[in-house]
Structure 1
């Protein structure tokens, strides 16, 4: 057996260095100045622009595109960052095809929207490359706020609170800040260590201390934070993962897609990452697509994504589904896993075909597999939390929980879709409400 083979066909170094570099290059190359001007010129600059309404952070999209068109991309970036301090990452990972670009009048008229996401990246990259941070803190308030979680919601809340003059302490269980942006998205969507660079840029506002290795419930409790701080914002995301609940799900070769993606994002050498020959991914959301595509890009021969409902019911957008198919991922729908077969290690996964209401049809299929990733949702972890609803922290429109002085946002809260851009909006809005509460409605 070759030295680099781990077990059951799961092995690293399936590709050449050039192939790894090509496969994990930037999904969308950045626009150059001429391309940006051409793209900006397509905008109608609508008065009641539907793209603004479709953006969870309500960026004035026609304004920033006009600023690009008039040769002032730094001003365009300020327009973006005023509403979305993580506008650089959102420009890379936001599903614009189902949000602002889907609402674009050009999309309705021609089937080809203005390249809003790429224009946003063009502007934000220019300003972030400047030496000076574009924001300053207000006069110090003397208030100190705890933020749990250094992901999109927590970072957005921390930056806005710091801008308003408050001191902020962010606690996160990981070794790095960024949350989903650092650990949970496909590597080809965020290249050149952008997530870490964005955090460093954001922290230039001052007034924000980040403590890593601080797990909520293990190293710090909500009761402790309520005693020590003037307000608390919970933005720790969803730390648990749903299990398949199948006999044989503990066999070698079975793992969680979120762990696979995190390992890949933190790998300094992609050729050291083992991947199977026949990979099966179970799930229908963005995590499932990211895992399936990256398994294929790492050199897996056959990758199959299996979802229990129809394509129309998949949480992953049509664009992401098409991206997966273009990379060679086979998508099977209306099939639920019923058994894992193998002697110690997974050899096959058995599925039963279903109707869209999950009614079994009695027909089954077995897929060869030496590596299986489950991507069937994540769960909230923690004790003594505020009131829950549908497994998440119940919040008001501004993020206030059932506990006085405690706000929440992002994936751990009931506020909205599990998207980076939504988490940013919820963190920002909660920060404004915290400020108003602490300053007597000011």
Structure 2
């Protein structure tokens, strides 16, 4: 446990109580109506818009921006949701700077893209605030589909199946639906309980039952689901975490970054959440950045991200890396952990410098040590188990087999992004619908 008596440096209330609300306020405040109209007016409304191609869910971006520009934000939201039913959360967490906004013609011409993510948030927030759910179920098909995992892929799949008239039961191992949207992103990116509000809004389509606390392989088997339902979609995510494979990683004070983020996301009082004085985060992706930044916001004095390869190979976007540095996080590249130091609990981490050569990553004899009473592992996630009868490709579930479809982070291919998971869930639902109805 992070607050174990064996880890004396990890304590709560490092900051004045008022600081937590300020530090974890909305990182990117929403546009007001006037700001949205001004931002929308910058769009060229390209006929062959590269931003659409760059969006994993293929939202008609010029159309929804034109709808905002003409004062019809609700119509813009419907345009977004028709392709991405979790468009509100994606507007908050998508790395738009490397997707639609990077492809924007304004970015190419001026170095300043249209604020597509912010405009998407404006449209979806406006429509949700008015209670708008613009979709109605088709006539019942009398077909039942099991969806395992209530994360972005599972929820997207469930909504599209319900839209087509199928009855859907979603099985989720955690106490709440939402997956990474609820448990796995930085708190300041989605404030005010937005993840659960979006789930509640999505369920207005009807025909979807969510059963929490049910885990595949423990409470229900894949064979059972295949026998009881007409089709099964697996969007189980990646619940396992890679090991450091460094001496001493079992010491107190060393934990998985995803668990820390989940604990923070569910905390009702951040002043009660313990954090170390000197924090080291090992990894180079978004999980590493989110854990590091939030450690700093909780009051850690020094926070360092250490990544084994060069900056250009970090999967966290340049924008997120810059944000971490601006928050006071130091980033060290080309170094890998050798051992965690300390007598029972972490007191430091020894690293070796690395060289990325033709034969792979090589550790040099030159080492350095960082002081650390808390160490977070953020070096990638893995499947926690493989359902019998399913093929594995590159450590993930491959394709679909018979009555079973797969999508999201657990599926082979694609990037581990919320927006990609939404697209894969949506597309799997269309494939399931076609298989069940012959459409």
Q: TM-score, normalised by structure 1?
A: 0.96
Q: Is the Cα contact below 8 Å between 1:5 and 1:11 reproduced in 2?
A: no
The CA RMSD over aligned residues, in Å, is 1.2
Go from structure 1 to structure 2 and tell me whether the alpha carbon gap of 1:286 and 1:385 turns closer, same or farther (over 3 Å shift).
farther
In the TM superposition, 1:42-61 aligns within 5 A as 42-61=42-61
Q: Is the Cα contact below 8 Å between 1:415 and 1:426 reproduced in 2?
A: no
2:379 is aligned with 1:376:
yes
Q: Is the Cα contact below 8 Å between 2:14 and 2:299 reproduced in 1?
A: yes
Number of equivalenced pairs: 433
In the TM superposition, 1:108-187 aligns within 5 A as 108-187=108-187
Which one is further off, 348-357 or 308-317?
348-357
Look up the SS of the partner of 2:315 in the other structure: coil
1:355, distance to aligned residue in structure 2 (A)? 1.1
**Counterpart in 2 of 1:398?**
none
**Counterpart in 2 of 1:107?**
107
**Counterpart in 1 of 2:74?**
74
1:242, distance to aligned residue in structure 2 (A)? 0.8
In the TM superposition, 1:40-439 aligns within 5 A as 40-357=40-357, 358-382=361-385, 383-395=387-399, 401=400, 403-439=401-437
1:197, distance to aligned residue in structure 2 (A)? 0.4
1:70, distance to aligned residue in structure 2 (A)? 0.3
Q: Distance in 2 between matches of 1:220 and 1:4?
A: 34
Q: Distance in 2 between matches of 1:273 and 1:70?
A: 46
Q: Distance in 1 between matches of 2:407 and 2:144?
A: 19
**Structure 2 gaps, min length 5:** none
Deviations 1:2-33 (A, max 9, x none): x9988321110011122111110101000000
Q: Is the Cα contact below 8 Å between 1:40 and 1:68 reproduced in 2?
A: yes
Q: TM-score, normalised by structure 2?
A: 0.97
**Structure 1 gaps, min length 5:** 396-400
Q: Distance in 1 between matches of 2:355 and 2:5?
A: 40
Q: Distance in 2 between matches of 1:381 and 1:144?
A: 27
Go from structure 1 to structure 2 and tell me whether the alpha carbon gap of 1:284 and 1:71 turns closer, same or farther (over 3 Å shift).
same
Q: Distance in 1 between matches of 2:135 and 2:14?
A: 46
Deviations 1:112-164 (A, max 9, x none): 00000000000000111123421110000010000000000000000000000
Q: Distance in 2 between matches of 1:376 and 1:348?
A: 18
Go from structure 1 to structure 2 and tell me whether the alpha carbon gap of 1:129 and 1:327 turns closer, same or farther (over 3 Å shift).
same
Q: Is the Cα contact below 8 Å between 1:73 and 1:126 reproduced in 2?
A: yes
Q: Is the Cα contact below 8 Å between 2:25 and 2:188 reproduced in 1?
A: yes
Q: Distance in 1 between matches of 2:31 and 2:378?
A: 33
